[in-house]
Amino acid sequence: MASSQANERSTDHVFATWPSDPEAIAPMQREAYLRALTPSTAAAMCADFRASFHLDRQHESDDRAARRRISCPTLVVTGQDEAQLADAPEVWATWTDDLTAQTVSGGHFNPEEAPDELAEILASFLAQSQRG
């Protein structure tokens, strides 16, 4: 029970502070996120963050030394109020030859905060990728 309450407090904080408009995350969506935040999911999320600090840095260094780049069309979509990812287009531009960077309204939760904008961007990107 304590784990469930801690998860609920954590998601409440995230939904209050990460989106531009906390009301954009509907109760049904909040419940889905909470249901998905199982102990194994939380452990995997923490492992991913740990890897990004240690393992990913080594892999990135190896890839740069080998001059590896992403060769397929790459789409980066960020929310205009997402301060943590403001430099995402610049970061990914160093890795790919074919970058499309788009910004949608909102913060961290693009599908919930800007579903129509995101759907339009995805449809356009995928249509272009199929032609190219």
DSSP-based three-state secondary structure for 7: helix
Mean pLDDT, to the nearest integer, of 18-32? 94
Q: Residues, the chain, total?
A: 132
Mean pLDDT, to the nearest integer, of 22-44? 92
Kindly report, residue by residue over 105-123, the tens digit of the pLDDT: 999 999 999 999 999 999 9
Residues whose CB is less than 8 angstroms from the CB of residue 80 and which lie 6 or more positions away in sequence, other chains included = 20, 103, 104, 105, 106
Per the CB < 8 A criterion, the answer to whether 98 and 73 are in contact is yes
Per CATH, the homologous superfamily of domain 2-37+69-131 is Alpha/Beta hydrolase fold, catalytic domain (3.40.50.1820)
State how far the Cα of 39 lies from the Cα of 56, in Å rounded to an integer: 23
State how far the Cα of 75 lies from the Cα of 110, in Å rounded to an integer: 14
Answer yes or no: pTM beyond 0.95.
Answer: no
Per the CB < 8 A criterion, the answer to whether 95 and 4 are in contact is no
Kindly report, residue by residue over 35-76, the tens digit of the pLDDT: 999 889 989 999 998 888 888 889 999 999 999 999 999 999
